[in-house]
Structure 1
């Protein structure tokens, strides 16, 4: 197979999403080989270790074991990028981390002709300046043809086609007036069990504890309850829709962390003290129930007024947002073309396999552009 049909893949971050991605890469590699394209895994890296053998192909099924057993101490990330830039074939860097430092280096990586696919929200929701630099350095932005491509479908809605749908609406000339939805699998699960349609549900603190035990929250649940994860996703969608949102803290974001518990020393201490504040959430539940509504944690973007907000809202029981199950996400696009019937995307918005699917789908987009 000729060298031009060979594409190198370098994977940074091999936790839950990274492991799932490697499994999917193995399947994709076999599929692409039948189309005369050879995908070669050449590098795997986690925070402290790196496995790389001078661009020799690595056995995907043994990659993690080899990283643990034979890997070397990870050099500074900039050195790894410089090495990849000297590759004899095109390189796609798969960043499965949420690392801010790696995110900040995207413009440099892309300008060296290395493509990036990633679920790393920080790269696209940090400063507006970084957002602009990333796309100014990308071949699918305003960068030159020698730059790398960048895709980040799984930064919003995991494997759901949220970003690609929004881009297609805009690129085909539709006008987006409003985007609204439940963007967090954690918050979805939490409020579906705290206030199910039809009544019932446990105390808020008990539901948070249950969500943590089931693995739906971050190790410290405050990282979900502060609303910043949803704010990052809203920032990304707002920017794609043409709003110059400066950062995820430049619009109203409602935190569900009681002020008194913001500075407790650990997630465990937070969970221990949270029941003292159940009355506030219980009042909210009762007032919504009196109106025949349920409470949900949502994000919304109003394009004409340029307003973005994240927080609690009440919905009629018949509303699609109220009827969500489990940890599903739902995103509604209100546009001129779709009129009064919003375009709705709904499904699993969290989990290693579905997030990795979004990453693998993006990898396939880049492979098609490079091939």
Structure 2
């Protein structure tokens, strides 16, 4: 808040300010609305995808959000796009980590909290007062995974192979696919967790690390507005930050 109060513009991909306590968030928004400095955070959800800008445009033109659903983690998208019956989920997580698709500590991805932060940011952008603690979060980690280093955690992750195999086999038998989905309703209730979606569902046919967000609004009620594309990686994240920089520069040039 101090930077905004001092007239310093802030552009960030960091989700903690936008998903932290409502009191702090309101303080930041109030300072930004005063006009002395801008606070932009497009890259917090979907990296370079125009997710937040699209939502802002909907709200600013008088539309009302009825529901938001999406796949908001490139890491979890990669895992469940690859995961098939007969595969070891623990081995797949190790492969993703070696390829650089996960955080250095995969617990940051598997806990679901990162996805929960993103749905909180979208909810607040839509005018819904949502705290992170109010989001129902499905944690994919085995019990007692919080302590210890990353290597010991990866060793314990094998405990997930049995339960995850049962879920992927059940989904496959019903011609469904597992996806880690974030959902927000107009009533403000939010959930992030693993779901089985039909093969005809838009979420079933994504490229490996794609994010996808579906906005169902009064204007886009029967057929939701969908934003989809790569949602992770340094190049697309940098593009999202640069887009915010250009928007601020354009605003300042009109003063």
TM-score normalised over the length of structure 1: 0.67
Candidates 193, 218, 222, aligned match of 1:336: 218
- The CA distance in 2 between the partners of 1:259 and 1:281, in whole Å, is 14
In 2, are the aligned partners of 1:220 and 1:268 still within 8 Å (CA)? no
Where does residue 129 of structure 1 map in the other structure? 23
Candidates 166, 171, 185, aligned match of 1:283: 166
Where does residue 179 of structure 1 map in the other structure? 68
Verify: 1:271 aligned to 2:158, yes or no.
no
The equivalences for 1:103-118 within 5 A come to 107-118=1-12
List alignment gaps of at least 5 residues for structure 2: none
After superposition, give the CA deviation of every residue in 1:256-293 in whole Å (9 maximum; x if it has no partner): 01113332x11111112212331000111111122221
Where does residue 137 of structure 2 map in the other structure? 253
- The CA distance in 2 between the partners of 1:273 and 1:313, in whole Å, is 24
Between the two structures, name the one with larger relative contact order (CA 8 Å, sep ≥ 6): 2
Cα distance change, pair 133–151 in 1 and its aligned pair in 2 (3 A):
same
- The CA distance in 2 between the partners of 1:260 and 1:323, in whole Å, is 34
Candidates 244, 249, 252, aligned match of 1:367: 249
Aligned length: 253
- The CA distance in 1 between the partners of 2:252 and 2:7, in whole Å, is 11
Where does residue 148 of structure 1 map in the other structure? 37
- The CA distance in 1 between the partners of 2:5 and 2:157, in whole Å, is 48
Verify: 1:217 aligned to 2:99, yes or no.
no
**Cα distance, 1:108 vs structure 2:** 1.4
**SS of aligned partner of 2:17:** helix
- The CA distance in 2 between the partners of 1:128 and 1:364, in whole Å, is 28
After superposition, give the CA deviation of every residue in 1:66-103 in whole Å (9 maximum; x if it has no partner): xxxxxxxxxxxxxxxxxxxxxxxxxxxxxxxxxxxxxx
- The CA distance in 2 between the partners of 1:219 and 1:308, in whole Å, is 27
In 2, are the aligned partners of 1:193 and 1:202 still within 8 Å (CA)? no
- The CA distance in 2 between the partners of 1:369 and 1:232, in whole Å, is 28
List alignment gaps of at least 5 residues for structure 1: 1-106
**SS of aligned partner of 2:95:** helix
Candidates 183, 188, 193, aligned match of 2:77: 188
TM-score normalised over the length of structure 2: 0.96
